[in-house]
Amino acid sequence: MKGGAREWVPLDDGVGEDVRMSERVGDVADTADQRREQMLRAAIEVIEERGFPETRIADVAARAGTSPALVIYYFKTKDQLLTEALRYAEDAWYEAGTRRMAGIASAAGRLEDLVAMNFLVEIEGDPTSSWLLWLDLWAQSVRLPEVASVRQKFDERWREMITSVVLAGQAAGEFGPVNAEDFAMTLTALVDGLAIQIVLSDPSVDARRAFELGMRFASGQLGFEWSGRSPAR
């Protein structure tokens, strides 16, 4: 059991030493995972504050309380550090979304929640911070194929999640007969575009309006009535 108390039972023929060695290896692995997570959290903070071009490995190391050499050991390059930091943030976002949606009965409600998580502070804390990471990822994807490949996988995951919600809603009779993949492509493009305007502090598009525009589009395309209210946290 990870982190739990261990009871040692003497074993013959060197087996006891093998068990103790295995436990030590497990402890090292746990420590390595914790150290890696600490560096990813530090990278997210520094990149959000300074932007990727102005972020140095030394900055991340200082924030994480470790050495630049150790950061390089774990992530090899600054570009890989960016992609892994965003992967860490995305995994946390999807885990939170999955937990939230598990308690929502209707497909329309789940879709509304996904749109809200991209924009509304009361749902997701401050979504703008994660969009700052995305802006840096998009910029690096233009010229670096390895980063572009990661970006593509992230976008595919996002569209697949929307598609699955739409298909479930159609099966339940909540949504009309639209092409689910086409709808997912269009909605995610709309969300991305609105998020960029928010990050750029466009005075005509705030988070609340972006959420409402996204939901008007979704409800109009899928043929369900939207209440006009944001989902409860």
Give 47-65 pLDDT, tens digit per residue: 888 888 899 999 999 999 9
Q: Indicate whether 108 belongs to any domain.
A: yes
Q: Report how far apart, in Å, the C-alpha atoms of 111 and of each of 77, 190, 206 are.
A: 37, 14, 20
Is there a single domain that holds both residue 127 and residue 21? no
Same structural domain, 49 and 108: no
- State whether 52 and 145 are in the same domain: no
The dihedral built from the CA positions of residue 115, 149, 126 and 54, taken in this order, carries a sign that is negative
Among 57, 76, 95, the domain boundary falls at 76
End residue of a domain, out of 30, 59, 76: 76
- pLDDT at position 131, please? 83
Asked whether 47 and 136 are in contact (CB, 8 A), the reply is yes
In a domain, residue 173? The reply is yes
CA–CA separation, 180 and 174 (whole Å): 13
| Domain final residue, candidates 76, 95, 124 | 76
**Is 7 a domain residue?**
no
- Same domain, yes or no: 116 and 148: yes
Residue 1 domain-assigned (yes or no):
no
pLDDT band at 42 (very low <50, low <70, confident <90, very high): very high
**CATH number of the CATH domain containing 153:** 1.10.357.10
Same domain, 120 and 221: yes
Please spell the DSSP secondary structure of 107-176, one letter per residue: HHHHHHHHHHHHH-HHHHS-HHHHHHHHHHHHHHHTT-HHHHHHHHHHHHHHHHHHHHHHHHHHHTTSS-
Residue 68 shares a structural domain with residue 96: no
Per-residue pLDDT tens over the stretch 186-219? 999 999 999 999 988 899 999 999 999 999 999 9
Structural domain contains residue 2: no
| pTM score | 0.77
128 pLDDT above the threshold of 80:
no
Answer yes or no: is 6 within a domain: no
| Same domain? 216 vs 135 | yes
Going 188 to 190 to 195 to 200, the CA torsion angle's sign is positive
Residue 154 lies in a domain: yes
| Secondary structure, 3-state, 14-34 | CHHHHHHHHHHHHHHHHHHHH
- CATH code: domain of residue 25: 1.10.10.60
Domain annotation covers residue 155: yes
Q: How far, in Å, CA of 219 to CA of 226, rounded?
A: 6
Q: How does pLDDT run across 66-89, given as a tens digit for each residue?
A: 999 999 999 999 999 988 888 888
Residues 69 and 82 in one domain: no
Q: Which domain holds residue 21?
A: 14-76
Indicate if 46 and 112 belong to the same structural domain: no
Instruction: Return all residues near 101 (Cβ < 8 A) that are at least 6 apart.
Output: 110, 113, 114
Q: What is the DSSP letter of 56?
A: -
Task: Please check the confidence at residue 139 and state whether its pLDDT lies above 80.
Answer: yes
Q: Do residue 212 and residue 129 come from a single domain?
A: yes
92 and 29 in a common domain: no
User: What's the Cα-to-Cα distance from 181 to each of 24, 158, 165, 199, 220, rounded to whole Å?
Assistant: 48, 11, 11, 27, 16
Give me the number of domains the chain comprises: 2
8 A C-beta contact, residue 166 and residue 111: yes
- AA identity, residue 167: L
Judgement on whether residues 70 and 82 belong to the same structural domain of the protein: no
CA torsion angle 54 60 61 65 (round to 10) = 140
